[in-house]
Structure 1
Amino acid sequence: MAPLETGELYKGKGNAKFIWDSDNLSQLYAVAEHLTRRFGDQLLHEAKIDNVGSDQELIVLDEACGTGAVAAGLMDTLSEEAKGKLDLTMVDLAPRMVDLVNQRIKVNEWQNVKVVLADAADSKLPSSHFTHIFLNFGPFIFADPQAGLAEI
């Protein structure tokens, strides 16, 4: 079998769909979070998320959320008051990643968070709804990276 192109990982070609939904990969991805989280934290820093005022609306989208590295950084960064005003939507195409994120939300007792099983390149979420959109490693695995970036 010929190697898969990066963009084919989410198209379900060959064994690609199985790869993203497998327990082994999702567990490995969770372990690798000590690396991916650093990039997510940098995104949050660049967005000045720690400077969000107590009177500001915070409607956040975490595209291609994986195991929730960006969301974890967000929860560690925000004040309790800001978390109370947070509306966080997390999107991933892999059902196993969505399962892992839902477990994480429950264990950490995160409030005002929902997880959507959807293609980040065409999530069907409302346009211009979010105050902040974060996309950490998604473009590397999108079937159509341009479409994925256009979605944000």
Structure 2
Amino acid sequence: MTHVHPSNADAAAGWDGPSGDIWTDNADRFDAGVARYLRPFLDAATIEPDAHVLDVGCGNGLVTREVARRAPRGEVTGVDLSTRMLDLARRRAAQEGLANIRFLQADAQVADLGEARYNRIVSRNGVMFFGDPVAAFTNLARSLAPGGRLVLLVWQEMADNPWFSAFRDAVAVGRDLPAPPPDGPGPFALGDPDRVRTLLTAAGFDAPELRSVREPTYYGPDVDAAHDYISAMQHGLLSELDEAARAEAHATLRAELQEHLGPDGVTYPSAMWIVTARRSAAGGR
């Protein structure tokens, strides 16, 4: 991997280690889980056939591939920290015959992404973990062509995403588990619209627009499938428990999932922002 900023060292160790393994092993489950958000996100990006696009935190590459299909005469670059996720992304792009994609293992906060190289930068749930978000978004703004646009899909605040607390509480088993900090790094670091506006304007973007999208997230066709998926996501917390407490946690989780089983499988309410921002005249400088 190219240079990783010290503020992102822990994130890099996780994503290029245990976290990356979990997300690679469950790639299709995650993509299915947030599938209802994909079309409005991509439509907001307005990808032109000859566009040059950067996908930040591309993970297993679903968004990268979808963008590449929308830009057949352009080029799409996917950037991520995880070796395993990038390997899977490359394999799937090759299997689908998409030759206008390249994947880079890099820390987008400090990597040389080129000067004014891209018409669009997109990210689905990939930019909430920067150690220094202003520095990261400044670097991204630098790589945008004048007038280019940043389009993000990010979780709204934790209170608007009850799945998070439900799963965390199910495996707590008497522990007082801290919530992720609202100012990050973490899944809800860009949930506050005022914080998003402050960060992006400080980084060289014009005032962003935020559009609320609310869709159910999907965790599996039945309780068994959902339990397997969520147990993998909560592996770290479950592994801290002794055998009896772990059995209690699994039983509590199953009961919680059963309450959300309906005709469409196990689903929970959720909410994301589609954030769009243009590079300002001095963006990235």
| Structure 2 length-normalised TM | 0.42
Unpaired runs of 5+ in structure 2?
Answer: 1-7, 141-285
Could you tell me which residue of structure 2 aligns to residue 127 of structure 1?
115
Could you tell me which residue of structure 2 aligns to residue 86 of structure 1?
74
Q: Deviations over 1:50-76 (max 9, x none)?
A: xx3x6xx31111111011121233245
Could you tell me which residue of structure 2 aligns to residue 3 of structure 1?
none
Could you tell me which residue of structure 2 aligns to residue 69 of structure 1?
62
Could you tell me which residue of structure 2 aligns to residue 25 of structure 1?
23
Secondary structure, counterpart of 1:71 in structure 2: helix
Matched, 1:142 2:135: no
CA distance in 2, matches of 1:137, 1:28: 15
Could you tell me which residue of structure 2 aligns to residue 48 of structure 1?
46
1:30–1:67 Cα contact (<8 Å) kept: no
Once the 2 structures are TM-superposed, how far is the Cα of residue 40 of structure 1 from its aligned partner? 4.2
1:36–1:69 Cα contact (<8 Å) kept: no
Unpaired runs of 5+ in structure 1?
Answer: 1-6
Q: Which structure carries more helix by proportion?
A: 1
The total of aligned residue pairs comes to: 133
CA change 1:97–1:46 in 2 (3 A) is same
CA change 1:142–1:25 in 2 (3 A) is same
2:68–2:76 Cα contact (<8 Å) kept: no
Secondary structure, counterpart of 1:70 in structure 2: helix
CA distance in 2, matches of 1:30, 1:9: 25
Q: Sequence identity, in percent?
A: 24
* Structure of higher CA gyration radius: 2
| Structure 1 length-normalised TM | 0.73
Give the RMSD, CA atoms, in angstroms.
Answer: 2.4
Once the 2 structures are TM-superposed, how far is the Cα of residue 38 of structure 1 from its aligned partner? 4.0
Q: Which structure carries more strand by proportion?
A: 2
Higher mean C-alpha deviation, range 29-38 or range 90-99 = 29-38
Using CA pairs below 8 Å that are at least 6 residues apart, which structure has the higher relative contact order?
1
CA change 1:36–1:87 in 2 (3 A) is same
Once the 2 structures are TM-superposed, how far is the Cα of residue 132 of structure 1 from its aligned partner? 1.0
CA distance in 2, matches of 1:47, 1:25: 25
